[in-house]
């Protein structure tokens, strides 16, 4: 019984640490109306770069939930320091060259979520020691792969400054960008449930071993 209580206390502490660790995570939903280019060939560019004065604390961007009536062209994909492929999850890091570039035939809209996390993200802006932050850009290009599709250049920009503070801007009129705020109880329950299941599996294995 004593070991059970100790194990449960350990699980609770791990759960608290897990919730704290997620405090440096932020997610945005991006929606772009591409109907003005419907049927045209072009490119999507997902870029996460460190600032000009490294060293910079690590930041990882994960693009997921990609939903669109656009037709992607996997043969044209040019990933640099990134992993995954649309419409699945794509991960980019804040290296100087990290980029995901892919051709597509535009439809009427593109929507996805992007989560930014890592040591370089802080919701309370309390980081020190980094010379500069990082920036994520979403840009669409015309068929030449060089000319931005929209007059604004990039459609969306998410900045992380040297303190870890995150700010986001929709640069094009056809783009909406909003933070997705998860329920704290949801984060706690999902993390705790997984840890609790692990604890009971371990207890069962221990009990079986001493039969």
- Calpha distance 131→138 (Å, rounded): 24
Q: Phi, psi (5° rounding) for residue 145?
A: 75, 5
Asked, for residue 42, whether it belongs to a domain, the answer is yes
Confidence band of 84 (pLDDT split at 50, 70, 90): very high
- DSSP 8-state assignment for residue 139: E
Kindly report, residue by residue over 189-207, the tens digit of the pLDDT: 544 544 444 454 445 444 4
Asked, for residue 91, whether it belongs to a domain, the answer is yes
Asked, for residue 185, whether it belongs to a domain, the answer is no
Asked, for residue 11, whether it belongs to a domain, the answer is no
Confidence band of 57 (pLDDT split at 50, 70, 90): confident
Kindly report, residue by residue over 142-160, the tens digit of the pLDDT: 999 999 999 999 999 999 9
Please compute, for residue 55, the number of CA atoms within 13 A of its CA located in the half-sphere on the CB side. 6
pLDDT of residue 68 exceeding 80: yes
Q: Checking phi first, is residue 208 left (phi over 0); if not, alpha (psi -120 to 50) or beta?
A: alpha
Asked, for residue 187, whether it belongs to a domain, the answer is no
Residue whose entry in the numeric block shows the structure tokens 């043969």 = 75
82: tokens are 């990134």
143: tokens are 């068929």
Confidence band of 34 (pLDDT split at 50, 70, 90): very high
Q: How many domains does the chain have?
A: 1
Which domain does 169 fall in, by range?
A: 25-180
198: tokens are 């692990």
What integer pLDDT is reported at residue 50 of this predicted model?
87
Asked, for residue 13, whether it belongs to a domain, the answer is no
**76-88 average pLDDT score:** 93
Asked, for residue 210, whether it belongs to a domain, the answer is no
Kindly report, residue by residue over 125-145, the tens digit of the pLDDT: 888 766 678 999 999 999 999
Asked, for residue 192, whether it belongs to a domain, the answer is no
How distant, in Å, are the alpha carbons of 87, 113, 115, 193 from that of 37?
Answer: 19, 22, 27, 46
147: tokens are 């000319």
- Calpha distance 65→94 (Å, rounded): 21
């Amino acid at each position: 019984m004593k070991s059970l209580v100790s194990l449960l206390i350990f699980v609770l502490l791990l759960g608290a640490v897990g919730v704290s660790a997620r405090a440096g995570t932020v997610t945005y939903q991006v929606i772009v109306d591409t109907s003005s280019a419907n049927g045209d060939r072009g490119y999507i560019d997902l870029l996460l770069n460190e600032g000009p004065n490294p060293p910079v604390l690590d930041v990882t961007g994960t693009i997921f939930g990609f939903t669109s009536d656009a037709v992607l062209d996997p043969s044209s994909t040019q990933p640099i320091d990134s992993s995954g492929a649309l419409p699945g999850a794509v991960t980019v890091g804040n290296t100087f060259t990290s980029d995901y570039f892919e051709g597509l035939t535009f439809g009427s809209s593109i929507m996805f979520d992007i989560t930014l996390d890592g040591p370089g993200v802080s919701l309370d802006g309390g980081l020190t020691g980094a010379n500069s932050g990082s920036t994520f850009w979403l840009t669409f290009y015309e068929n030449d792969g060089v000319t931005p599709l929209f007059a604004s250049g990039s459609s969306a920009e998410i900045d992380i400054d040297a303190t870890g503070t995150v700010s986001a801007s929709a640069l094009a009129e056809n783009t909406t960008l909003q933070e997705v705020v998860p329920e704290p109880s949801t984060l706690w329950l999902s993390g705790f449930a997984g840890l609790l299941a692990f604890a009971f599996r371990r207890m069962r294995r221990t009990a079986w071993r001493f039969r």
